[in-house]
Chain A
Amino acid sequence: MITVNVILLSITSKSRSTLGIGRVGLSFVAPFQELVTRSVRYTRGVWGHYFFLVSVAQENDTLKKMLNESIEKNNQWHEIELANTRLRNLLNFQKAPTNRIVAAEVIGKDPSGWFKTVIIDKGKAEGLQKGLPVVLPQGIVGQVIEVSSHYSKVMLVIDRNSAVDALVQRSRARGIIKGASADQCRFEFVLRKHDVQIGDTVISSGLDGVYPKGLRIGRVSDLSERKSDIFYDITVAPFVDYETLEEVLVILRSKIKAMTSER
């Protein structure tokens, strides 16, 4: 009996299959999670809005300053986008498809400290399917690994089972981003012949077929070279703060297929 159990566990560990019954608990418990999470956020919101107004004025000044800087940058990017469109037209490139994105709210987190997954309040009814990328404006969040009618489970990039094909934005050095402990990722299989420095931004390469190209992942926070190894030993600090994750964006499949075909 123990042997059969170990074999079954080994199979599910490798294939990450739920034997077709992975949605039962999700459908049953997620509505309660949603109710509790919304109540807690509402209470926190009331507290934050009415009892902590003292710090709001100071924050407002800072935000205004940041907004002005953003407007300036936005103008620059708008010019670049126009130039990009003109050049694409000259080269007869297809126009990038319109984004099809679904916004979702995080309603629950993994009960165990070992695995990094979250439950979101969108599912099959909203067009979600297994394998879709989940992002934020700051960077990649993870991918959908289980879908029920109105809820889904998302594996975060920092989970040990996660892997993202990635590039160093500056030098285009390629490798695989894998989840590590304590909200850090390892950047593996980056050849030492490439130029990588601490502080470099790491982006998705789009070659894994899950994440579109160019999404930000994180910044190189630690870098070391072992004499016997042909690869760097790199640690990446993700841009997304996974501890305070509340809302996420799911990119629907048609968008990714279109982007891949465009490449």
Chain B
Amino acid sequence: MKYGIFIGTCLSLIILQTTILPYSNVFSGIYDLLIPFVVFICIYLPLRESLPFVLILGLIMDNLSGSPFGLHLTFYFWLLVGVRWIITFLRVGNKFLLSIIAVVAVLIENILIIGTFLLSGSDWQLPADVIKNIALQFFWAMATAPIFLFCLLTLLKRFNIQLNGVATHP
């Protein structure tokens, strides 16, 4: 049941951000919705369960996106490593803290993408909409990541799912 909900959630998020949101004027500049989800599973699932999830998600996103292959895989993997490191000295289970981590992760993903532009060796010029893109994604992450995490926790509570990660009571 637990895995069914997680697989269903991530599939819904992927479908949502590749089929519905890009056609909407309001949500067209939204951030990668899988980031809060990855942060969530990094904390609420043990490493042996969260690692395959993160790698498969990264692979699927790399397949669907026009980004260099491995970009999402790399980012989600290092997000997992980073979150696992952060929770060794910060109190987990705090929704506010989780949201902050998700927002920072959104910013880091954007920096990584800009880094790959430079790595590709093309004569890439910093376009005028870089700041706008990042600001828009930051705004959306600030506004919706806490709601998203709250919904996910509520969903798991409703189905009485007990998680056995670092934080055990969603």
Contacts and interface: CB of A to CB of B under 8 A. Distances in A.
B96 interface: no
Given A32-B15, A111-B14, A112-B32, A160 B64 contact: no
Interface of A is mostly: mixed
Contacts of B29: 113
A23 B59 CA distance: 10
A150 interface: no
A233 to B, nearest CB: 11
Interface in A131-168: 145-146, 153, 155, 159-161
B66 A33 contact: no
Contact of A26 (B23, B64, B67, B133): B64
A80 interface: no
Interface in B35-87: 59-71, 74, 78
B151 to A, nearest CB: 20
Contact of B65 (A5, A12, A36, A110): A110
A109 B66 CA distance: 10
A102 interface: no
Contact of B70 (A8, A24, A33, A117): A8
Nearest to A114: B113
A235 to B, nearest CB: 11
A155 B17 CA distance: 18
Contact of A29 (B15, B20, B117, B120): B15
B4 interface: no
Chain B interface size, under 10 / 10 to 19 / 20 to 34 / 35 or more = 35 or more
Q: Which range contains the number of A residues in contact with the other chain?
A: 35 or more
B122 A161 contact: yes
Nearest to B114: A114
A51 interface: no
Contacts of B121: 13-14
B69 A19 contact: yes
Given A14-B121, A24-B60, 4 more contacts: A19-B69, A33-B15, A40-B19, A110-B22
Interface of A: 5-6, 8-10, 12-14, 16-19, 21-26, 28-29, 32-33, 36-37, 40, 107-117, 119, 145-146, 153, 155, 159-161, 180-182
